[in-house]
Amino acid sequence: MKLNLGCGADLRPGYVNVDFREHLGVDNVVDLSILPWPFASDFAEEIMMLDFLEHFPYRDTKKILLECWRVLVPDGKIVIQVPDFNVISKALNFEAGCICNRCGYKFTREDNLRADFWRCRTCPQDMRDIMDAAVARLFGGQDYEGNFHYAAFTPTRLQILLRDHGFHEFEHVERNENGETFEQNWNFKLIAKKGSLWDGGQLQEF
């Protein structure tokens, strides 16, 4: 059994596609903000969460990761894709390393010296549109109830969170199915396995 949690319109064959909106034709309509989830323990070989974790209050992130650990079988796989705060920050600052959201061009320090520094070097995208897109990626499109973001992640922070909650054997995925880098899409994707060493220790509240 593989779960595609918060699938939205991204329905995947071979997965049980789960979302809180029933009009999308999902397999299982569940409000995943309510814990525990209605899945048995040691139940799923894989939990995929694409553009999912950032839609929940950050104070719930640890509880959600623990819930994933409970639902996964031993050695089960967790697949997480979230916006990359590091990349978004560069876009919002329009600084070196900023990646054009239209063509994928990566800005260098030399771009600051161009007479037309205010736009992308290789396409007509204006820096204001890149900055607006950065805010939208950070806080969500905000066009319907579920499309607000409440948490921000970097690869480092997410990996530590996963390690602290019983996951190991991390894999950073560099490119998506279309051959584009996740960085180019202002995301990152991390895969890990459910470890057997978690001692059931208490969550540290903050």
- Does residue 105 touch Zn ion according to CB under 5 A? yes
Q: Return the H-helix or E-strand segment holding 17.
A: strand 16-19
* Segment lying near Zn ion (by CB under 5 A), choices 25-33, 114-122, 127-135, 173-181: 114-122
Window 23-62: contact mask with Zn ion (x via CB under 5 A):
----------------------------------------
> What's the closest the beta carbon of residue 119 comes to Zn ion, in angstroms?
8
The only residue of 2, 62, 63, 102 in contact with Zn ion, by rule CB under 5 A = 102
Q: Are 51 and 146 in contact (CB under 8 A)?
A: no
119 token code pair? 């736009």
Please tell me whether residue 82 binds Zn ion under the rule CB under 5 A.
no
- 126-to-56, 86, 129, 158, 181 alpha-carbon distances in Å: 31, 21, 5, 31, 22
Give whichever of 56 and 186 is closer to Zn ion, judged by the CB atom: 186
- Per rule CB under 5 A, is residue 114 in the interface with Zn ion? no
Size of the site for Zn ion (CB under 5 A): 7
SS3 110: helix
29, 103, 160, 203: which one binds Zn ion (CB under 5 A): 103
**CA 3 to centroid of chain Cα atoms:** 16
Nearest distance, CB of residue 64 and Zn ion, angstroms: 35
Q: Which candidate, 17, 42, 15, places its Cα nearest to that of 32?
A: 17
Select 41 or 122, whichever has its Cβ closest to Zn ion.
122
Select the span of 39-47, 99-107, 134-142, 146-154 touching Zn ion (CB under 5 A). 99-107
x/- map, 119-148, Zn ion, by CB under 5 A: -x--x-x-----------------------
Q: State how far the Cα of 82 lies from the Cα of 155, in Å rounded to an integer.
A: 9
Q: Which residue has the tokens 């607006």?
A: 132
Closest CB to Zn ion among 70 and 119? 119
Strands of the sheet containing 44-50, edge to edge, are: 28-29, 16-19, 2-5, 44-50, 72-83, 187-194, 167-173
Residues that bind Zn ion (CB under 5 A): 100, 102-103, 105, 120, 123, 125
